[in-house]
Amino acid sequence: MAYTELHCITNFTFLRGASHPEELVARAAELGYDGLAITDECSVAGAVRAHGAARGHGLQLIIGSEIRLADGPVVVLIAPHRQAYSQLSALISLGRTSAPKGSYRLHRSDLEQSVPDCLALLIPETPATPEHAAWFGAHFRGRGWIAVHLHNGPDDAARLAELNHLATCSGLPLVAAGGVHMHRRGRRALQDTLTAIRHNRPVQELGYALMSNGERHLRPLRRLQRLYPDALLAETHHIAAQCTFSLDELRYEYPEELVPPGSTPAAHLRALVTDGARRRWPGGTPAHVDALLERELALIAELRYEAYFLTVHDVVAFARSRGILCQGRGSAANSAVCFALGVTEVDPADSQLLFERFISRDRGEPPDIDVDFEHERREEVIQYIYRKYGRHRAALAATVISYRPRSALRDVGRALGLEPDQTERLAGAVQWWDGSDIAPDRIREAGFDPDNPVIHRVLTLTRELLGFPRHLSQHVGGFVISRGPLAELVPTENAAMEGRSVIQWDKDDLESLGLLKVDVLALGMLSAIRRAFHLLEHHYGITRTMADIPRNDDPYFAMLQRGDSMGVFQVESRAQMAMLPRLKPECFYDLVIEVAIVRPGPIQGDMVHPYLQRRDAPEQANYPSPEVEDVLKRTLGVPIFQEQVMKLAEVAAGFTPDEADQLRRSMAAWRKRGGLGHFEQRLHDGMRANGYSDAFAARIFRQIQGFGEYGFPESHAASFALLVCVSAWLKCHYPAVFTCALLNSQPMGFYAPAQLVRDAREHGVAVRPVDVTTSQWDCTLEPTAGDQALRLGLRMVKGLSRDGADRLIAARDTAALRTVEDLAHRAELGQRDLSALANAGALEPLSGHRRNAWWQVLGVDREHPLVARAGHGDDTPPLERPSTGEDLIADYGSTGLTLGPHPVALLREQLQRRRFRSAADLNTLDNAPVARAAGIVTNRQRPGSAGGVTFVTLEDETGTINVVVWRRLAEAQRRVLLGARLLGVVGQWERRNGVCHLIAGRLEDHSALLGGLQTRSRDFH
C-alpha cells in the first residue's frame, strides 16, 4: 500500500507540534510511508531539518504550510515545484509581515491570486461549512482536495459520510490526511502540556481545547487501511507524484548593483584588490603574497563568489566612511584578498594561511566572513544594508530559541497547575552548569519530593520538552542579501526590533543549503577602543588607529606577563590571567597562541602542558620529518590551531586540501553526531604509508578529537590578538583613558565597573565621584598634577533618566547651579531623578553631604515658576553626616562601587576574630596546607572545559583572592557557593609559577555581616 502523509506539523509550529522534524521523518520511514509533507503553520522553519533527515532515510519530503485564514477555513498549501515554492514562501512572508512578531494574518483574497501553482487541501470544520468548500472549489479546482481527518472517534463513519456529501456537492475529490502533531502516541501528554502553555491556562481547565484522543500521530499503514477507504489512501500517492520540488533546488543569486557600468564582478574585484594591495604594500607586494592573491582570485572567479566579496567590501567601506571601527575575523583572515580589501587586519605576509579553510572547491558552499563592528554603532551598519537593498532583499538569519531546564520547568509547572512561587523555586533549583540534567537532589533542596506524582510528572514532561523550539529570534548579525525578492527564497517576518526583518531559517539551515550569510557582528571592545582613541586625541593630542599600535611593545608585554590584564580583550578571564605568567608572551605571535590555547579544544586534546614544557625547554620539541616541522615549528611541535591539523593531514597522511577541510568540519561536529571514525583509519593508513609511527598517528588523532570541544583557527586567534595588542597598549600607557573608555562602553567584558575602577586606582589613576556640578553623562578625564584624573559620569547613577541628565547638563551650561532646589527647578527634575542623584552622593557639592541632600530633595516643591525662582532660602536643619557604613551602602546601591573604604575594611576586625586572612596576607605565603580568607564575591565561572571546577574571585580591601572549588564541594555546598555575597573559604593555599589559588575545602556564608549592602557578582559559563 502506497501512502504519503500530507498534513503534518512539527514542533516548529510552536506550542502545537509535539515532535522534532527529524523524529517525524524517521518514524514515517520506519512505518513504510512513501513520503511525508511537512506543513508547519505559516512557516517552513522546520523544513531544512526535515530535508536533511529525509535525505538520509530515502523518504520523499514534500514542502507545504498550514494556513488559518482570518476570514475563512484552514487550508494546507503544498509546493509541487520550484515556482510554487516561491509563491508559497512569498505568501508566508506576506502573512508574517502583516502582523506583529510571532503571529500572521492572511485572508481569502491573499490566496486567490498569489499561489496559482500550489496544490491545496481544505481542512473542513466540524460540522463542515459548504460555503467554505464552494469558495475553495472556485479557486483551487483541479489542484484542490478535501482532507479527511479520521482519528478513531465514535463519529468517524458519520464524519466520512458528511465529507463524501460535501465532495459530491462541491465537485472536489477527497484525500486521506492525518493532521499529525506527533511522531508517536506517547507524546500525547506533552502535546496537552504545549496546548496549556499556548493558552496560558492549566491543563485541567482546557476542556475541549485539548485533543479528544492521542490519534494525531503517524499511524501504522494497517490501521490507516482499517480507517480509510482505499481510494482516499491511493489519492495521497497521486498527489505526491506531482510533487518534485526539493530544497536542493534553491540557488542563491548575489546582488549585482555593486559593479560599475561596463565592468564585470571579476574585473571590479580585481581592481579593488590591486588598489588595496598598493595601499597595504606601498613598496611593492611581496612575491609570495602576489602569488596568493592570484591563486585566490582564480578560485573566487571559478566559483563565482566575486559578488560576495564585493558585498562585504561595500559594508566595511561604509563603516570606515562613518568612522566606525570594524575588523574581519574567523576564516576570512585566511584570505590575502580580504586583507587587501581591508576586511581583515591579519597580514598574510606574517601568517601561514590556509585558503581552503576559507573557500573550498569541493565543499560547494559559500565562504563565511565575520566582521565585528562597534557594538553601539552596529545598528548604523544594519540600517545601511536595509536602505541599500531594501527589506525585501535583506534580512537577518533566525536564531531558534529552545527550551532549557529553567524555562521548561516554569512553563510545565504552570501548565500542570503549580503556584507561581512553586515554579520559581523549581526553576531556581537548576543552575547554569547543570546542562540538561535535573537531578532529584536538586529538587529536594528546593523543598519538593521528586517522587510526588505531580512533581514526577512535571519533571518527566520537562525532560521531554528540553530542546524544543520556543520561538524564532534574530541572529546576532547574520545577514542574507539576495539579488531578487528574498521572500521567494525563504519566508521573512518582522523582528521584535522595529525596522528589522528575519528569515525563518537559522545559520545551520543556511549552511545546509549552501546559502550566503554575511555576519555583521557587535564587539564591545571596538567601541571602547574608538572612545579611547578619541580621548587620546582630545586630551593628549595623540592620533592613533589600530594599525598604528605597536605589535611588539616591551612595557605592555611585561604587564601581561604579570597577569595584569583586567579589561584587556580576550585575556582577562581567570584562566587567561593564570596562563599569562606561565606562557610569558614576548611577541605578537605569542599572543595569538595565548588567545587560542585557553580553549576547550587544546585543553581536552592535552596540548597545553606539552606546549608550556617546550616553552621552558625548546629542545624537547622533536619532529618526525621536515614536513611536519614546517607545520608545527611555530607552536613547538604541538598542534594548537585547526589549520595545523588540516596541514598535518595533508603533509603526513596524504589528504588533499579539500579532504583536510572535510576533516575540519567533522572535528567541529563529531561530539554531536560522530563521524570521525573513518578519518582515524585514513590518518593511520596515510601516516603509516608515509613512514610515520602508529604512536604519532594516535597522538595526532587524540588532539583532533580535542578540537571537537571547540578549537580556534589560527586566523581567528590572530584577529583577536590584534585587539589584545591595542587594548593592552592602552591599559599600560594610558590607564585613565582605557578605564574611561571601558566604563562608557558598558555593559561589556568580564568585570563590573567596581572592579575596573579599583584596578585603575591601583594603577595610579585618580578617580573622582559623580558630581552634578561637573560630571557629563559619560565618564570624562580632568587635568590633574602630571596626568589626567577620571571623573565618573552621570551614566553611573542607577535610576537617573537620560532625559533628566541632559536637562541637568543644559541647565548647568546656562548658569552655575546654586542649590538643590535651583537644580530641581531649572532642570525640571522629578523626585525620581533627584532621589537617584542624592543616593549617589552627586548632590554633595550643593548640599554638603548625603543626609542634607535627602532632606533638601524631599523639600523641593513643584510650584509656580515665579515662586520657584524666588526660592525658600537655606532652611535645612543641622543634620549629622552619614556614617562611613551608610555611605558605603548608598554608594553600592546607587553606582555599584565606592571611592571610600572597601566594605571588607569595615568588617576586618570581625573577620580577624574568625581567623580570616586578607588577600595581602595570603600573598606573603608560599604554600600553606590550611588557609582561611573571606571577601565579597565578584565573579563565579564554571567553564565547560574545567571538568566541573568552579572558579570564584573574592575581593577585600587589600586585593583579590582566586578560589578553586572542586566539583564535589560545589555540589555539597551548592547553596553557599551560589548564594553567598560575602564568602568565607577554608582551604589550601597554593603558589605555582607565580599564580596563587586558594583550593577550597569548606565554604561559609557570611553575607549577614554586609547588612543592607547591595553587591552583585558577574557569573559566567
pLDDT band per the 50, 70, 90 thresholds, residue 329: confident
User: At a CB cut-off of 8 Å and minimum separation 6, what does 68 contact?
Assistant: 41, 42, 74
Whole-angstrom distance, CA of residue 590 vs CA of residue 594: 6
pLDDT at 349 over 70: no
Residue with the three cell numbers 555593559: 747
Whole-angstrom distance, CA of residue 52 vs CA of residue 1008: 56
Provide the strand spans (E) within 643-704: none
Contact between 553 and 404 under an 8 Å Cβ cutoff? The reply is no
Provide the pLDDT for residue 864.
47
pLDDT band per the 50, 70, 90 thresholds, residue 617: confident
Residue type, 174: L
Residue 711, all three cell numbers: 578549537
pLDDT band per the 50, 70, 90 thresholds, residue 634: confident
Residue 1015 has a CB neighbour count (10 Å cut-off) of 18
Residue type, 962: N
By C-alpha distance, which of 894, 904, 902 is closest to 769? 894
User: How many Cα atoms occupy the beta-carbon half-sphere of 509 within 13 Å?
Assistant: 24
Provide the pLDDT for residue 418.
93
Residue 481, all three cell numbers: 542579501
* CATH no., domain 903-1019: 2.40.50.200
User: How many Cα atoms occupy the beta-carbon half-sphere of 923 within 13 Å?
Assistant: 11
Contact between 526 and 373 under an 8 Å Cβ cutoff? The reply is yes
How distant, in Å, are the alpha carbons of 58, 187, 477, 719, 991 from that of 314?
A: 43, 50, 16, 20, 52
Contact between 8 and 176 under an 8 Å Cβ cutoff? The reply is no
User: At a CB cut-off of 8 Å and minimum separation 6, what does 361 contact?
Assistant: 299, 302, 303, 658
pLDDT at 467 over 80: yes
The 10s digit of each residue's pLDDT in 55-67 is 999 999 999 999 9
pLDDT band per the 50, 70, 90 thresholds, residue 1016: confident
Domains of the chain: which residue ranges? Answer: 4-249, 254-374, 405-466, 524-599+715-765, 600-711, 793-869+879-900, 903-1019
pLDDT at 670 over 50: no
The fold adopted by the segment(s) 4-249 is TIM Barrel (3.20.20)
The 10s digit of each residue's pLDDT in 748-792 is 888 999 999 999 999 999 999 999 999 999 999 999 887 899 999
Spell 766-804 as b/e; 16+ CB within 10 A means b.
bbbbbbbeebebbbbbeeeeeebebbbbbbbbeebeeeb
Dmax over CA atoms of the chain, in Å, equals 97
How distant, in Å, are the alpha carbons of 331, 650, 665, 667, 765 from that of 658?
A: 15, 10, 11, 14, 53
pLDDT at 254 over 80: no
Provide the pLDDT for residue 725.
95
- The predicted model gives 499-507 an average pLDDT of 86
Contact between 765 and 730 under an 8 Å Cβ cutoff? The reply is no
Contact between 148 and 228 under an 8 Å Cβ cutoff? The reply is yes
DSSP-derived pairing of the beta strands 394-402 and 35-38: unpaired
Q: What is the dihedral of CA 39, 41, 43, 47, to 10 degrees?
A: -30
Whole-angstrom distance, CA of residue 440 vs CA of residue 463: 13
Helices and strands in the chain: count of H runs, count of E runs: 44, 23
φ, ψ (nearest 5 deg) of residue 157: -65, -45
By C-alpha distance, which of 976, 972, 933 is closest to 954? 933
pLDDT band per the 50, 70, 90 thresholds, residue 867: very low
Contact between 719 and 345 under an 8 Å Cβ cutoff? The reply is yes
By C-alpha distance, which of 3, 11, 16, 65 is closest to 38? 65
pLDDT at 353 over 60: no
Whole-angstrom distance, CA of residue 639 vs CA of residue 363: 24
pLDDT band per the 50, 70, 90 thresholds, residue 355: low
The 10s digit of each residue's pLDDT in 871-918 is 545 566 778 888 888 899 999 999 999 999 999 999 999 999 999 999
SS3 (DSSP) at 402: strand
Provide the pLDDT for residue 673.
47
What is the residue-averaged pLDDT of the chain? 89
φ, ψ (nearest 5 deg) of residue 144: -130, 145
Distance between alpha carbon 965 and the CA centroid of its chain, in Å? 27
The fold adopted by the segment(s) 524-599+715-765 is DNA polymerase; domain 1 (1.10.150)
The 10s digit of each residue's pLDDT in 56-99 is 999 999 999 999 999 999 999 999 999 999 999 999 999 999 99
Provide the pLDDT for residue 446.
83
**Model pTM?**
0.85
- The predicted model gives 367-388 an average pLDDT of 89
Question: Among 218-222, 295-299, 436-440, 700-704, which range has the highest average pLDDT?
Answer: 218-222
Please list the alpha-helical segments (H only) found in 927-994.
967-972, 974-979
Provide the pLDDT for residue 445.
81
- The predicted model gives 711-737 an average pLDDT of 89
pLDDT at 38 over 70: yes
DSSP-derived pairing of the beta strands 119-123 and 144-148: parallel
Contact between 210 and 192 under an 8 Å Cβ cutoff? The reply is yes
Give the residue with greater pLDDT, 917 vs 509. 917
Provide the pLDDT for residue 44.
96
Whole-angstrom distance, CA of residue 616 vs CA of residue 451: 56
User: At a CB cut-off of 8 Å and minimum separation 6, what does 100 contact?
Assistant: 494
Whole-angstrom distance, CA of residue 517 vs CA of residue 475: 11
Distance between alpha carbon 437 and the CA centroid of its chain, in Å? 22
Whole-angstrom distance, CA of residue 377 vs CA of residue 321: 13
Question: Which residues on neighbouring strands pair with residue 481, listed in sequence order?
Answer: 394
- Quick one: what percent of the chain has pLDDT higher than 90? 60
DSSP-derived pairing of the beta strands 35-38 and 982-992: unpaired
DSSP-derived pairing of the beta strands 144-148 and 174-176: parallel
Provide the pLDDT for residue 958.
94
Contact between 740 and 779 under an 8 Å Cβ cutoff? The reply is yes
